[in-house]
Amino acid sequence: MTYIPILISLVLASASLHAKAQITAAVSCASKYEIPVQAKSGGHSYASYSTDGYNGILMIDLENFNSVSLDNKTGIAAVGGGVRLGNLAQGIWDQGRRALGHGTCPGVGIGGHFTHGGYGYSSRAFGLALEQIIGLDVVLANGSFVKIDNETLGDAYYALRGAADSFGVVTTFYLQTSTAPEVIKFSYSFLQGLESIENATAVFMGVQNFSLYSPVVDRNLGLGVTLGGNATSYTVHGTWFGSSSVEPTDWITSLAMLGGEGNLTVPLHGFLQQDNFYAKSVSTNVSFAEEPIRKFFEYAYSAGRGLNAPISWFSIINLYGGPDSQIGAEGKNGSWAAYSGFDDLWGCRICHERSYNAYLNYIDPELDRDEAWHLYYGKPLFERLKSLKRDLDPGYVFWNPQSIPVWNDTWVL
């Protein structure tokens, strides 16, 4: 099999029916000539998989699919596949004071973020980003352009919400929004956590116990711990929905504060904000034991990994579950999705007699394919996705270095 040693990029002129026809034609042509296809929404894949991570592929650039339209009667927003999170949040706020649960970085594209999980501080109240998807306009591997939901092509609907890079090109998302709440944003620096490994571990265990067992914690709390600046800051931060003696702010202002950019909207064209970094992730359905946390801080505080580290680094720990969390709530929007937390309760890998996996939106290109599939999906979900891949994309049209395979063999270009 011979591949063209360049990146083929299809940038569409608009999100019109003609442009959608161009996508169907492009996917059909790529299928005929065995050229792998990937969609590019915001271009923020940590592994550059929106450009397939390999030369000789067809990248379909959805930059011009950037409309946001809210139906105020139903609360459903129709959102183009190239919309970025900041413009999405500003659009539904301006049109109806509505909200969605998603991440905080304004420039991130909706495509990868919403179809591979999509966590943010509001996720415990609204569910992950993918749980708010109620329908999709998508081009499938056979070149057909279809609108799908839980009742229409339910298998594709299931697979695209969690593994869209392996199953299709989403041109429009239909998202169930919520009433925007008042928000209190908070942060507190635990300086004593920097004084010793014992203090650092004790602070973390105290915050974790509070988040999981305090009777005052409910879905309205979003909570995270950041070890920042090469272990020079140790901060607990988050949001709470509601009002109190602390001055609350409105939803849209809180998003701008969390995004750190001053405002949410980013340019529709020519947005080139970039950063160079490498990320790894771990998630669990159980609380972290004290000993692994102690070892983490020993590693983080050791010589050469603190102030004198050869590179700049930070770590973020976020609360997904806990009391009343709506992440993975059964029956949300009519169907489970292809996300490991929903099908096997995060049960992906046993490490120190505990269950761990990884977050697909923090994709790690250093993982080999078997390890990536294991960590991101877990065996039961991965086996189902392989079966759906054989049904929906038997010709392996949608490919990247860690995409779902058709069979058990590994296809390496």
Decide: 55 and 120 in contact? Cβ < 8 Å.
Answer: no
d(CA 288, CA 206): 12
d(CA 50, CA 46): 9
| pLDDT of amino acid 1 | 40
Tell me which residue has tokens 């928000």. 183
DSSP state at residue 109: B
3-state secondary structure at position 77: strand
| pLDDT of amino acid 413 | 40
Tell me which residue has tokens 């915050």. 207
Amino acid symbol at 201: T
Q: What is the DSSP string of 12-44?
A: -S-SSHHHHHHHHHHHHHHHHTT--EEEESS--
Decide: 92 and 107 in contact? Cβ < 8 Å.
Answer: no
d(CA 53, CA 400): 6
| pLDDT of amino acid 349 | 28
d(CA 50, CA 29): 19
3-state secondary structure at position 206: helix
State both tokens at 259. Answer: 């995004």
3-state secondary structure at position 178: strand
| pLDDT of amino acid 13 | 53
DSSP state at residue 394: T
d(CA 180, CA 254): 11
Calculate the alpha carbon distances from 190 to 187, 194, 201, 204 in Å. Answer: 10, 8, 12, 10
Rg (CA), the chain: 21
Contacts of 302 (CB under 8 A, 6+ apart): none
What string of pLDDT tens digits covers the 413 residues of the chain?
443 434 455 555 555 667 888 999 999 999 999 999 999 999 889 898 887 667 788 999 999 999 999 999 999 999 999 999 999 999 999 999 999 999 999 999 999 999 999 999 999 999 999 999 999 999 999 999 999 999 999 999 999 999 999 999 999 999 999 999 999 999 999 999 999 999 999 999 999 999 989 999 999 999 999 998 888 899 999 999 987 767 778 889 888 888 877 778 988 887 877 777 788 888 877 788 899 899 989 888 885 556 567 778 888 888 888 888 888 776 566 556 777 755 433 222 223 334 578 899 999 999 999 999 989 998 899 999 999 999 999 999 999 999 999 876 554 44
Tell me which residue has tokens 């160079």. 276
